[in-house]
Amino acid sequence: MEGALREAVELGRSILGQGAVATYIPELAKADPSALAAAYCGMDGKTISAGDEGTKITVQSISKVASLGLALNICGEETVFSKVGVEPSADPFNSIMRLEMRAPHRPQNPLINSGAILVLSLLPFSDSTERLEAVLDTMRRMSGNEGLRVNEAVAASEKDTSDRNRSLGYFLRSVEAMDGDVENILDSYFRQCAIECSVEDLAAMGATLACGGVNPLTGEQVFPERTALILRALMMTCGLYDGSGDFAVRVGFPAKSGVGGGIMGSVPARAGVAVVGPALDKRGNSIGGVRTLEMLSESLSLRVL
Ligand code: GLN
């Protein structure tokens, strides 16, 4: 297993030069584009990693899986999916275009920015810190790592450069797709995106979803089986934004990416498989990470399709 991870990371490294770190959030531009790591967490909770496994990234969009799971737990499937769709979007993750062009004006799915912001608005918290704490607690339980924290410098940087996300929030409210205090909702969105983690944390989170919602490290049922299934299904169809189809063909298991360079993969009843590599492709997915997962999928026969 260790050999397979090492070999896949080395292959991923060979194309890192073709990618670039995200710069639209200035604090993310400080990430090391040459870092790459992979981890595998089996159903026994044993985690093996390779490469630059000490690298810390912020989860960014991967947090959308946790907040959606929390909303499904608290509000129920029917309420959540009456407000946000479950169809893939062929547009970039922060696109506003489809929201305006098609009625009803609801986000295409919960894993693009507009959908994730709307999902947060459904949670029964009026205080942004309480809302954030609930999402953070969910991620801690998914990863089994009580030490997960918000990187406040990244959160502040996101807030400073948030014109697009504010546009999405205010547009949603203007068409009455979303209720609530937009600034307050966005504050918890920026901070949940800035939760810091390692590749091993991501692998454990993926394993929890693979294990029907039970964290294999702690034995805790974090999500009911139905919620884990919905999350995996949406990761499979929408997890890499407008790169989801390409990822399904090349890698073939549910995964969720973030612009911090993480990808959390979940192979049902088998493992959580994750990568961390801040150099991104044009769609905002880890370029070396996708290549690494492609190789691992092949060498460990992880494809579910
Ligand atoms: N915080 C980022 C944003 O809202 C998350 C996007 C991403 O990871 N694709 O722009």
Asked whether residue 46 falls in the same domain as residue 81, the answer is: no
Band of the pLDDT at 102, cuts 50, 70, 90? confident
Give the CA distances from residue 126 to residues 117, 155, 242, in Å, rounded to whole numbers and listed in that order: 14, 20, 33
C-alpha–C-alpha distance, residues 232 and 20, integer Å = 28
pLDDT at 103: 79
Q: What is the pLDDT of residues 104-146, one digit of tens each?
A: 889 999 999 999 999 999 999 999 999 999 999 999 999 999 9
Q: Which residues does a 6 A CB cutoff place in the pocket of ligand 1?
A: 60-61, 93-94, 113, 158, 165, 193, 258-259, 284
The answer to whether residue 97 scores a pLDDT higher than 90 is: no
Does residue 97 form part of some domain? yes
Percent of the chain past pLDDT 70, that is, above it, reads: 100
Same domain, 183 and 201: no
Residue 144 lies in a domain: yes
Q: Answer with the one of 193, 208, 225 that is the final residue of a domain.
A: 193
Tell me if 87 sits within 8 A of 234, measured CB to CB.
Answer: no
Check whether residue 201 and residue 171 sit in a common domain: no
Same domain, 29 and 90: no
Q: What is the pLDDT of residue 104?
A: 84
Q: How far is the CA of 277 from the centre of ligand 1 (A)?
A: 15
Which atom of ligand 1 is least distant from the CA of 190? Answer: 1
What is the average per-residue pLDDT within 218-229? 98
- Structural domain of residue 225, as residue ranges? 2-57+197-299
Q: Which residue type sits at 266? A: S
Atom of ligand 1 nearest to the CA of 61: 8
Measured distance CA(71)–CA(294) in Å, rounded = 31
Distance of CA 7 to the CA centre of its chain: 25
- Kindly state whether residues 132 and 218 are assigned to the same domain: no
Give the residue-averaged pLDDT of 45-68. Answer: 97
Catalytic pick from 64, 83, 159, 256?
64
Q: State whether 24 and 124 are in the same domain.
A: no
Give the domain CATH number at 117.
3.40.710.10
Amino acid of residue 125: F
Q: What percent of the chain has pLDDT over 90?
A: 93
Euclidean distance between CA atoms 201 and 79, whole angstroms: 30
Is 100's pLDDT higher than 90?
no
Tell whether 34 and 80 lie within a shared domain: no
Active site residue 241: yes
Q: Examine residue 91 and state whether it is found in any structural domain, yes or no.
A: yes
**Structural domains counted in the chain:** 2
Residue 92 has pLDDT above 90, yes or no: no
Query: Is the previous residue joined to 110 through a cis bond, with omega within 30 degrees of 0?
Result: no
Q: What is the pLDDT of residues 155-214, one digit of tens each?
A: 999 999 999 999 999 999 999 999 999 999 999 999 999 999 999 999 999 999 999 999
Do residue 67 and residue 121 come from a single domain?
A: yes
CA 172 to chain centre: 22
One-letter amino acid for residue 174 of the chain: S
- pLDDT for residue 91: 85
Q: Are residues 149 and 233 in the same domain?
A: no
Confidence of residue 101 (pLDDT cuts 50, 70, 90): confident
